[in-house]
Structure 1
Amino acid sequence: MTQPLIQLKGISKAFGDKVILNRVDLTICKGDALAVIGPSGTGKSTILRIIAGLLEPDEGEVYLKGERRQGLIEDGKDPIGIGMVFQQAALFDSLTVDENVGFRLYQNSKLPRDKIRKLVEDSLDRVGLGGTGKLYPSELSGGMRKRVSFARAIIANPDNLASNPEVLLYDEPTAGLDPIASTVIEDLVRQLRCVENSAAQTYLMVTHQDSTIRRTADRIIFLHDGKVQWDGNVEEFDSTDNPLVRQFRTGSTSGPIQVGGN
């Protein structure tokens, strides 16, 4: 059996008196296209931050290619690279698109600047934004800024393949976008998955949006009350009799999920 890229075992996290995650187990294997869904405040983004090494769990263990992570991302080198596409794109307003996309390579590699610029342009071409390198984030639409953040996440250093990400984490990539812009992003997620040796081949996505769930995910887990309440594929998502999933899918105000609750 192929070793999972990421395993969460018994992960718990609380903020003050509020328990966000309660002994969550999760396995991500190479090639997984996984969506994490559930009502607001159920710990979906917390799971992303724990996987990315930006937040430590209160209890439980995080394994990357079978190695247990100790501490946060800055405390040691992970055996796999993990890229993250943030909900608000998280671009540096004072830097050009070129400088944003190539930031990691400009700062941490020994590649010549002209080679980095070529890698940046190739990455921008992949997300349909070729020729935008000299622009600033303020000159881009919301959907374009999201695509720039994708280009930044997937750019690779050909001279140091071990430093390149193997997994992408998407935090609400279509949040706040109109239906057409959402479709562009959803198509992009799928297209990037087909790029050979790309980090985008394996991903975990947090989303509330029905079209994003259906167009980007092969597998879905449903979080509620700090626990994984359901795990299945997209076809099962439509047919399951799980009352939590059914209420979430239909948007009903009647059911076990309390309106205005957690």
Structure 2
Amino acid sequence: MDNTVLEENVLDTREHGPQAVGAGSGGCSFLYKHHLKKSICISGKGSCSSFRSPPRFLVDDDQNARRFRKIISACKCMALPKDFTPTKFTGSHETEDLSVGKELEDESDVLIECRNIYKSFGEKQILRGVSFKIRLGEAVGIIGPSGTGKSTILKIMAGLLVPDKGEVLIRGRRRHGLISDEEISGLRIGLVFQSAALFDSLTVRENVGFLLYENSTMPEDQIAELVTETLAAIGLKGVEDRMPSELSGGMKKRVALARSLIFDTTKDTVEPEVLLFDEPTAGLDPIASTVVEDLIRSVHMKGEDALGKPGKIASYVVVTHQHSTIRRAVDRLLFLHEGKIVWQGMTHEFTSSSNPIVQQVKIY
């Protein structure tokens, strides 16, 4: 049906009454996928009777969808049924629900939300309007070619970088500036750096317990005990007194993971945590990679340390290039390309995507 004719028909209905339009017994030119009950036209010159088996009205773009709603509201005889659902056709086989009465999406489980994030360094534009949500219980992977802003978005989420434009919301509250500028309660965010980023001059015990030594009132012997428990939970026992130079690459990654897991157990309430992993298996051999991937899954699923105390790992985000990490440690993927998210969906849907950019990457 031509939208211009449709609009003219409504004008005719308002000016001359419903009988002026020759669609249906009451003159209604709109075709619903529902049966319309009898109602009075605002022209006051007649009423619109029910008509049977009407075809569905097709809304082919956003502009026409808006026009459709305006046209409908112009004539009370065309009042939308409560469960009416117009359909926007976005392609030959893809549709998007444009239900007018659609309930708002539940946002109660959104832990971190990035809205229209832009970031540049000098003249180089890195992120160009990135938007996504991390929900409770999710295991999310961010993939894409090198230099597309994957690590940058992690640091923005962690509060180590400030976006040039856009918003970062932590449990619904907007964060202004860096994490050091503002404390937002309700969520802990841990970041495991790509190179582990251990302090070379400190022992493993001092590295893992660094946050507690610097920012808690816990006695040192209690911190040391907690460090031992946390290391044991990720398969590292008896390494507390070693220096980082004495550790293998995989061990360094696990020590960095332990440092992100540890928390002050003397607090009355412990906030849930979102862990951010930047290339956690980069540079590791296949066996060491498998160990780290399994650890990432285990701390998320169990949420406990060696003694059964709650770790409260609510969700995690992994930036990676490795196919094994994607397969073993990720449920949902965000594909970042040239500073934009060009595809997102479940991991098993990735290889079947028709997106030409996504097709350049194969996961076996």
Query: What TM-score, normalized by structure 2, do the two folds share?
Result: 0.67
Contact 1:195/1:201 (8 A) holds in 2: no
Counterparts in 2 of 1:250 and 1:216: CA distance versus 1, 3 Å: closer
Paired position in structure 2 for 1:176:
283
- 1:38 matched to 2:144? The reply is yes
Contact 2:118/2:126 (8 A) holds in 1: yes
1:141 Cα deviation from its structure 2 partner: 0.3
Query: What secondary structure, in the 3-state scheme, does the structure 1 residue paired with 2:168 have?
Result: strand
Q: Of the candidates 239, 245, 255, which is equivalent to residue 138 of structure 1?
A: 245
Paired position in structure 2 for 1:243:
356
Q: Of the candidates 245, 257, 260, which is equivalent to residue 150 of structure 1?
A: 257
Contact 1:186/1:212 (8 A) holds in 2: yes
- 1:91 matched to 2:204? The reply is no
Q: Of the candidates 177, 195, 207, which is equivalent to residue 71 of structure 1?
A: 177
Map 1:1-262 onto structure 2 (within 5 A): 1=106, 2-79=108-185, 80-160=187-267, 166-196=273-303, 197-249=310-362
Counterparts in 2 of 1:118 and 1:98: CA distance versus 1, 3 Å: same
Q: Provide the rounded CA distance (Å) in 2 between the counterparts of 1:157 and 1:78.
A: 17
Determine which structure has greater relative contact order: mean sequence separation of CA pairs < 8 Å that are 6+ residues apart, divided by chain length. 1
Relative to structure 2, which stretch is displaced further, 188-197 or 104-113?
Answer: 188-197
Counterpart amino acid of residue 42 in structure 1: T
Query: What secondary structure, in the 3-state scheme, does the structure 1 residue paired with 2:118 have?
Result: strand
Q: Provide the rounded CA distance (Å) in 2 between the counterparts of 1:165 and 1:113.
A: 24
Query: What secondary structure, in the 3-state scheme, does the structure 1 residue paired with 2:336 have?
Result: strand
1:165 Cα deviation from its structure 2 partner: 5.7
Counterpart amino acid of residue 355 in structure 2: N
Contact 1:156/1:164 (8 A) holds in 2: no
Contact 2:117/2:164 (8 A) holds in 1: yes
Task: Name whichever structure is richer in helix by fraction.
Answer: 1
Q: Provide the rounded CA distance (Å) in 1 between the counterparts of 2:268 and 2:351.
A: 40
Query: What secondary structure, in the 3-state scheme, does the structure 1 residue paired with 2:130 have?
Result: strand
Counterpart amino acid of residue 166 in structure 1: E
Paired position in structure 1 for 2:8:
none
Gaps of 5+ in 2: 1-105, 304-309
Question: 1:33-72 CA distances to partner (integer Å, 9 max, x unpaired)?
Answer: 0000000000100100100111111100110011100111
1:250 Cα deviation from its structure 2 partner: 6.1
Counterpart amino acid of residue 53 in structure 1: G
Q: Provide the rounded CA distance (Å) in 2 between the counterparts of 1:91 and 1:199.
A: 23
Query: What secondary structure, in the 3-state scheme, does the structure 2 residue paired with 1:202 have?
Result: strand
Paired position in structure 1 for 2:51:
none
Aligned residues between the structures: 251
% same residue: 55
Contact 1:154/1:199 (8 A) holds in 2: no
Question: 1:198-247 CA distances to partner (integer Å, 9 max, x unpaired)?
Answer: 35441111000000011100100000011100001111012212221221
Question: 1:236-261 CA distances to partner (integer Å, 9 max, x unpaired)?
Answer: 0122122212212269xxxxxxxxxx
Contact 2:272/2:314 (8 A) holds in 1: no
Query: What secondary structure, in the 3-state scheme, does the structure 2 residue paired with 1:243 have?
Result: coil
Contact 1:127/1:147 (8 A) holds in 2: yes
Counterpart amino acid of residue 183 in structure 1: T
Contact 1:154/1:165 (8 A) holds in 2: no
Contact 2:323/2:363 (8 A) holds in 1: no
Counterparts in 2 of 1:166 and 1:144: CA distance versus 1, 3 Å: same
